[in-house]
């Protein structure tokens, strides 16, 4: 692709936030007052209260149980943190500025550091500049948007690659951070041609260390494919043009292909006060399944399947007959985005949960789905042994929402390990006052997918603290081996990664 075409694409992606400025929050309800009134009645809303401190730090966390001494390294997590700025409360969970957390683990001890990502937006607003538009919020007098990175909040996920650490968003560049101090080093530029282009929050890494990523540019109707070497250099970048490009949060890779599912969820830009409100669900249209040959990114086949929405995939692999299989969190529609993640910002809960499915794509394009959970179980945040990416896997770690009478909140309440071969589901139910977050698998050393630990956080909203727990992956139902408690609560976040010392 020629440089001038990349520049046109960058300009197109920058236009995502150029929405009508005459819409102002003054015309809407007082979400801040509504949220705080609800918080007094629903203490679990502490997970969405937010913080406005540049730095949180605790040198030694109180530990209950025995932390495995051989588990050593850094567990990084990311999520929306600054939910309120003065009298403004953000209207969508995707909007608040991101805070990255490092749990430094060594010799059975745990330390914590949390730091706001010093994005362009965060620094400009902290310096007293006008507030900027975001995915679901249009502040009064919002500053004009010049690029996607001008509103980048770096609040979704973490990437460790080639010895460098990045906070990821979806509509702009990764932000590089110092792996020890979490100080912001600046937006990552893979090449002059791709500067500022969207880069998604869920890159996939092959066994040889090659990194694959995508980015969706709504106004240009282009998906950008990135191939990045194990040493961090950009190997290839290719645009895929479509008649319309929807929101695409995640994708999967096999040993030979990239698989990208395009739901019929399109933005009618300029039709609403915010980008979030401009999205329209066209459930009568099919979802498109795009399969791209890794060896030749121009070799693409597209299939159709019934409309659905997906945030997250577990993994994918290819059978000997060429069939592609993948597991994913399946929603009937995107109301989790358009309703749940907005309503919670004003203290309401409109629950829309996913089931977990296995999809099979035949070489001829026939697509079959089968549910992997019971109808009463909802699952999300699938995570697999990262050594199995692109190859057949057996175990998936999930958060579940189950109908426990003792649960004092409407969020996820269980941690589970699902065996794709046997269908067996081993799970652990957290206490009624705990809101668990994504847990990741850390191998102990052997090749078995159960030979390791699950590590993750949860919010104890009664005590008002966040805690980090570690489970033996073979015995999840027995509960955590140890829990390290912070002396403060961290807003609920999205994704993390573990990096060995």
Q: Lowest-confidence range among 25-39, 71-85, 478-492? A: 25-39
How far, CA to CA in Å, does 351 sit from each of 214, 380, 412?
29, 13, 11
Element (H, E) at 312: strand 309-318
Decide if pLDDT at 29 tops 70: no
pLDDT attached to residue 492: 98
Interval 275-300: pLDDT, tens: 999 999 999 999 999 999 999 999 99
- pLDDT class of 9 with cuts at 50, 70, 90: low
Q: How far is CA 82 from CA 9, 93, 166, 222, in A?
A: 31, 10, 19, 31
Please give the sequence-ordered ranges of beta strands (E in DSSP) within 444-494, or none if there are none: 452-460, 465-472, 482-485
Across 209-286, the runs of DSSP E, i.e. the strands, are 211-217, 222-228, 234-241, 252-253, 257-262, 265-267, 279-281
The pLDDT-based confidence of 458 (bands split at 50, 70, 90) is very high
* Average confidence (pLDDT) over 26-30: 55
409: its two tokens: 């909140």
Beta bridge partners of 472: 453
User: What's residue 14's pLDDT?
Assistant: 45
What is the per-residue pLDDT for 28? 42
Per-residue pLDDT averaged across 323-336, rounded?
A: 98
What pLDDT is stored for residue 147 in this prediction?
85
Confidence band of 141 (pLDDT split at 50, 70, 90): confident
d(CA 143, CA 151): 10
- Name the band, by pLDDT with cuts 50, 70 and 90, for residue 405: low
Any idea where the domains of the chain sit in the sequence?
3-500
Q: Which residues are paired to 160 by β-bridges?
A: 165
- The mean per-residue pLDDT over the stretch 44-65 comes to 97
How many Cα atoms sit within 13 Å of 158 on the Cβ side? 30
CATH architecture of 3-500: 7 Propeller (2.130)
Tell me, what's the pLDDT at 140? 87
Q: What percent of the chain has pLDDT over 90?
A: 88
Neighbour-count burial for 282-309, b at 16+ CB within 10 Å, e otherwise: ebeebbbbbbbebeebeeeeebebebbb
- State the chain's mean pLDDT as an integer: 93
- Residue 24 vs residues 17, 28, 131, 157, 328: alpha-carbon distances, Å: 15, 8, 12, 30, 38
pLDDT at 150 over 60: yes
- Res. 82 pLDDT band, cuts 50 70 90: very high
**pLDDT tier for residue 412 given thresholds of 50, 70 and 90:** very high
Give the closest residue to 281 by CA, choosing from 220, 329, 333, 354: 333
Ramachandran sector of residue 178 (left: φ over 0; alpha: ψ -120 to 50; beta: rest) = beta
The mean per-residue pLDDT over the stretch 347-351 comes to 93
Residue that wins the pLDDT comparison between 3 and 374: 374
pLDDT score for 271: 79
Q: What global pTM score does this model have?
A: 0.95
The whole-angstrom separation of Cα 388 and Cα 313 is 13
Which segment of 138-152, 218-232, 291-305, 452-466 scores lowest on mean pLDDT? 138-152
The per-residue pLDDT for 351 is 86
pLDDT tens digits, residue range 89-121? 999 999 999 999 999 999 999 999 999 999 999
Flag whether pLDDT at 153 surpasses 90. yes
Q: Residue 425 — left, alpha, or beta (φ > 0 → left; ψ -120 to 50 → alpha)?
A: beta
Nearest to 213 by CA among 310, 221, 204, 189: 204
Q: Which pLDDT score is estimated for 17?
A: 40
- Asked if the model's pLDDT at residue 138 lies above 70, the reply is yes
% of the chain residues with pLDDT over 70:
93
- Please, which residues have CB within 8 angstroms of residue 385's CB and are 6 or more apart in sequence? 393, 395, 441, 443, 449, 452
């Amino acid at each position: 692709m020629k440089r001038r075409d990349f520049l046109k694409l960058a300009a197109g992606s920058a236009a995502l936030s150029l929405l009508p400025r005459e819409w102002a929050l003054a015309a809407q309800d007082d979400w801040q007052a509504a949220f705080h009134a609800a918080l007094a009645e629903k203490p679990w809303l502490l997970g969405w209260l937010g913080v406005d401190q540049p730095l949180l730090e605790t040198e030694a966390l109180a530990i209950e149980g025995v932390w495995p001494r051989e588990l050593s390294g850094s567990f990084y997590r990311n999520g929306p943190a600054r939910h309120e700025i003065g009298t403004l409360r953000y209207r969508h969970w995707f909007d608040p500025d991101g805070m990255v957390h490092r749990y430094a683990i060594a010799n059975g001890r745990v330390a914590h550091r949390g730091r706001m990502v010093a994005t362009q937006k965060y620094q400009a607003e902290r310096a007293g500049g006008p507030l900027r538009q975001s995915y679901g919020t249009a502040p009064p007098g919002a500053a004009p948007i010049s690029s996607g990175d001008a509103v980048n909040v770096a609040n979704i996920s973490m990437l460790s690659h080639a010895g460098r650490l990045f906070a990821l968003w979806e509509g702009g560049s990764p932000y590089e951070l110092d792996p020890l101090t979490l100080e912001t080093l600046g937006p990552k530029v893979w090449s002059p041609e791709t500067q500022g282009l969207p880069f998604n929050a869920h890159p996939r890494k092959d066994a040889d260390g090659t990194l694959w990523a995508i980015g969706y540019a709504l106004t240009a109707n282009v998906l950008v494919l990135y191939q990045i070497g194990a040493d961090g250099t950009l190997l290839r970048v290719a645009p895929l043009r479509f008649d319309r490009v929807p929101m695409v949060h995640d994708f999967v890779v096999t040993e030979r292909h990239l698989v990208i599912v395009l739901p019929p969820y399109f933005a009618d830009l300029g039709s609403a006060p915010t980008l979030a409100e401009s999205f329209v669900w066209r459930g009568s249209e099919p979802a498109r399944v795009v399969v791209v040959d890794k060896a030749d990114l121009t070799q693409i086949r597209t299939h159709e399947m019934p409309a659905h929405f997906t945030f997250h995939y577990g993994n994918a692999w290819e059978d000997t007959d060429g069939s592609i299989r993948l597991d994913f969190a399946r929603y009937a529609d995107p109301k989790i985005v358009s309703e749940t993640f907005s309503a919670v910002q004003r203290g309401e809960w409109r629950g829309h949960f996913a089931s977990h499915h296995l999809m099979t794509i035949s070489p001829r394009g026939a697509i079959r789905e089968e549910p992997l959970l019971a109808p009463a179980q909802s699952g999300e945040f699938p995570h697999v042994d990262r050594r199995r990416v692109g190859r057949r896997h057996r175990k998936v770690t999930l958060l579940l929402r189950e109908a426990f009478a003792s649960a004092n909140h409407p969020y996820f309440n269980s941690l589970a390990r699902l065996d794709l071969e046997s269908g067996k589901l081993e799970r652990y139910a957290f206490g009624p006052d705990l809101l668990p977050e994504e847990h990741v698998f850390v191998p102990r050393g052997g090749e078995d997918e159960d030979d390791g630990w699950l590590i993750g956080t949860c919010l104890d909203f009664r005590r008002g603290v966040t805690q980090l727990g570690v489970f033996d992956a073979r015995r999840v139902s027995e509960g955590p081996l140890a829990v390290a408690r912070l002396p403060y609560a961290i807003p609920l976040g999205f994704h993390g990664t573990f990096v060995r010392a």
